[in-house]
Amino acid sequence: MFETFDFDVIRRSLPYLFFDGMTFTLTLTALAAAGGLVFGTLIALLRLSRLPVLSQVAALYVDLIRSLPLVLVIFWFYFLVPYIGQWLTGASRPVRVGAFTSSLVTFVMFEAAYFSEIMRAGIQSISKGQPAAAQALGLTYSQTMRYVVLPQAFRNMLPVLLTQTIVLFQDTSLVYVLSIPDFLGAASKVAQRDGRLVEMYLFAALVYFTISCIASFGVRRLQARIAVVR
Amino acid sequence: MIQISHVDKWYGSFQALKDCTTLIDKGEVVVVCGPSGSGKSTLIKCVNALEPFQEGEIVVDGIKVNDRKTDLPKLRARIGMVFQHFELFPHLRVVDNLCLAQEKVLRRGHDEAMAKAASLLDRVGLNAHAQKYPAELSGGQQQRVAIARALAMDPIAMLFDEPTSALDPEMISEVLDVMVDLARDGMTMMVVTHEMGFARKVAHRVIFMDQGEIVEDAPKEEFFGKPRSERAQKFLAKILSH
């Protein structure tokens, strides 16, 4: 049944798929995960704040983001950001924002919401005696968080954070709606140019599957090692 | 040194502390005892403002604890505290547990902090364990590290919140030995404990609390000789009968 397929198209497009497509996908994944972790941690701290205003604002943000389809926000944000930029800077025409920047901002916003819930669970898993001991030594609130609570919360939650990053790695393929050549976008371009849809999409699926699988396996091994240390 | 006057504390409608008043002089060792739920831990946590209270005032070395203008981290850095469950930082090595607050709060240089840590670990007999993580130590060793960590800040007074209650019996004496040495060196200490042997040995005064009240506040000889209140007599009879 394979005689009508041309798998050589994969070999011919490999450099483009990996040097352009996969590089973009991995860059976006890494930057979005890093940004999401930083902002997610801040949102988690707000959410756990004793001031009701702060915790409610943070909760509202997380609920809002989690109730919207990601692909819609990517799309919508791409067209909206230039106008927000214009409004913020007072420029006379919409600010030009590249597709990469726009999609990165969207993913950071989304991952911040997801990571914040993970970090919140991590912070709450630390016994109350730890911040009490830190404060008794004279550490301020921010020092207590930075040196005592967050490092432990991060360590406890590392497997969950990495698993979420694997999901993010797959989700970055949604940027294809902006016609950005990420890995899936690049595969899709070749597929349509050469009329080799089945081959290219099969190959793309295989690559996503392989990378995610290996990464999941790595996370499980890490989890086992952390469990031993504790 | 530590002046506690007419302190009231409520958890919602439950009154945890009722009109507590006492004074601890420089160099004095005061043991606080009483049945569980009597408010003794709550009282010493009020001294460094880990627990807020609603009425009354506490003054430590001339600084009012329950004053909005008081720089609490700065005040707490001068009062050492040892917890029932040690509360060492599990992600840091023993020596880094001792250095963290020295460097971040007192702004000591790393070498100075390390030297201080080494001399204190030596004092509690744990120099060999400096590079280990807390989880690799026994409970008694962890509590000695916790005492060394508090001492590294050169505190003017030390608060102990049931320091031996979470320990196996064979480890209690190694911790008490360190505390006895500290008391004999003239450290001002407020100790919540049921270890009456420790109280007999080094305490100057014993405070007995029940239901949030200071029922008895007497010199050691008087307290163990014949407590004035019936509640303290009953309590002593219970814990000394075995």
ipTM computed for the complex = 0.93
Q: What is the pTM of this model?
A: 0.88
* Residue (of B159, B167, B143) closest to B75 by Cα position: B159
Q: Between B83, B87, B153, which is nearest A138 by CB? A: B153
In the prediction, which pLDDT does B200 show? 92
The interaxial angle of helices A197-229 and A8-15, nearest 10 deg, is: 60
CA distance B126 to chain A (A): 21
DSSP state of B212: T
Q: The sheet that has B205-210: what strands, in order across it?
A: B79-82, B157-161, B188-192, B29-33, B205-210, B213-219
Q: Which of A9-13, A44-48, A71-75, B69-73 has the lowest mean pLDDT?
A: A9-13
Point out the residue among B72, B73, B91 whose CB comes nearest to the CB of A152.
Answer: B91
Q: A226 touching B, CB under 8 A?
A: no
pLDDT tens-digit profile of A168-220? 999 999 988 888 889 999 999 888 888 888 888 999 999 999 999 999 999 99
What percent of chain B is modeled with pLDDT above 90? 88
pLDDT of res. B84:
95
Asked if B50 and A152 come within 8 Å (Cβ–Cβ), the reply is: no
**B interface test, pick of A137, A139, A155, A229 with most B CB neighbours within 10 Å:** A137
**CB contacts, 8 Å: A153 with chain B:** none
pLDDT at B227: 76
What's the start-to-end Cα distance of chain A, in Å? 54
B185, with CB counted inside 10 A (0-12, 13-18, 19+), is exposed
Q: Which residues contact B23 (CB under 8 A, 6 or more apart)?
A: B2, B3, B4
pLDDT for A178: 85
The answer to whether B87 contacts A130, with C-beta atoms less than 8 Å apart, is: yes
C-alpha to C-alpha distance for B30 and B189, rounded to whole angstroms: 6
Give how far B77 is from chain A: nearest CA, Å.
4
Q: With cut-offs at 50, 70 and 90, classify the pLDDT of residue B125.
A: very high
Q: What is the mean pLDDT of residues A59-68?
A: 94
Check residues A230 and B90 and name the one with the higher pLDDT: B90
For residues A82 and A134, the model is more confident at A134
> Among A6-20, B77-91, B109-123, which is the least confidently predicted range?
A6-20
Tokens found for residue B36: 């569980």
Distance from C-alpha of B153 to C-alpha of B144, rounded to nearest angstrom: 15
Structure tokens that stand for A162 in this block:
């990495």
- Chain B residues whose CB is inside 8 A of the A137 CB are 76-77, 100-101, 105, 149-150, 153
Mean pLDDT on B117-146: 95
Residues of B in contact with A134 (CB under 8 A): 89, 101
> How far from the centroid of its chain's Cα atoms is residue B27's Cα?
14
Kindly indicate the confidence band of residue A91, based on its pLDDT and cuts at 50, 70 and 90. confident
Give yes or no for A151 touching B (CB within 8 A).
Answer: yes
Of A130, A137, A151, which is closest to B105 when you measure between CB atoms? A137
Say if residues B54 and B11 touch (Cβ distance below 8 Å).
no
| Calpha distance A136→B73 (Å, rounded) | 8
pLDDT in tens, A155-167: 999 999 999 999 9
- The stretch A29-42 carries a mean pLDDT of 96
- Which pLDDT does position B163 carry in this prediction? 95
Nearest Cα of chain B lies from the Cα of A3 at a distance, in angstroms, of: 59
The pLDDT mean for chain B works out to 94
**pLDDT for res B229:** 86
What value does the mean pLDDT take over residues A62-71? 92
Question: Which residues of A are less than 8 Å from B87 in CB distance?
Answer: 127, 129-130, 132-133
Closest CA to A184 of A7, A21, A20, A70: A21
C-alpha–C-alpha distance, residues A80 and A96, integer Å = 11
CB within 8 A of A57, min separation 6: which ones? A46
Burial class (CB in 10 A: 0-12, 13-18, 19+), B35: middle
CB contacts under 8 A, A 99-118 vs B, are none
Separation in Å, CA of A167 to nearest CA in chain B = 28
What distance in Å separates residue B101's CA from the closest CA in chain A? 6
A152 touches chain B (CB under 8 A): yes
pLDDT at A134 over 90: yes
* Dihedral of alpha carbons B79, B82, B84, B86, sign: positive
Report whether B240 contacts B194 (CB < 8 A): no
Question: B89: which chain A residues are within 8 Å (Cβ-Cβ)?
Answer: 130, 133-134, 147-148, 152
* pLDDT of A225 above 70: yes
Cα distance between residue B113 and residue B108, in whole Å: 6
List, in sequence order, the alpha helices (H) in B85-219.
94-104, 110-123, 139-151, 169-184, 196-202
What does the pLDDT read at residue A77? Answer: 84
Which chain A residue's Cα is nearest to B151?
A137
How are the residues of chain B apportioned to helix, strand and coil, as percentages rounded to the nearest 5? Answer: 40, 25, 35
- Within 8 A of A135 by CB-CB distance, chain B residues are 50, 72-73, 76
> Cβ contact (<8 Å) for A138 and B77?
yes
Distance CA B92, CA B107 (A): 19
> Taking a C-beta distance cutoff of 8 angstroms, is the pair A134, A2 a contact?
no
Q: With CB atoms and an 8 Å threshold, state whether B104 touches A143.
A: yes
CB spacing of A137 vs B150 below 8 angstroms: yes
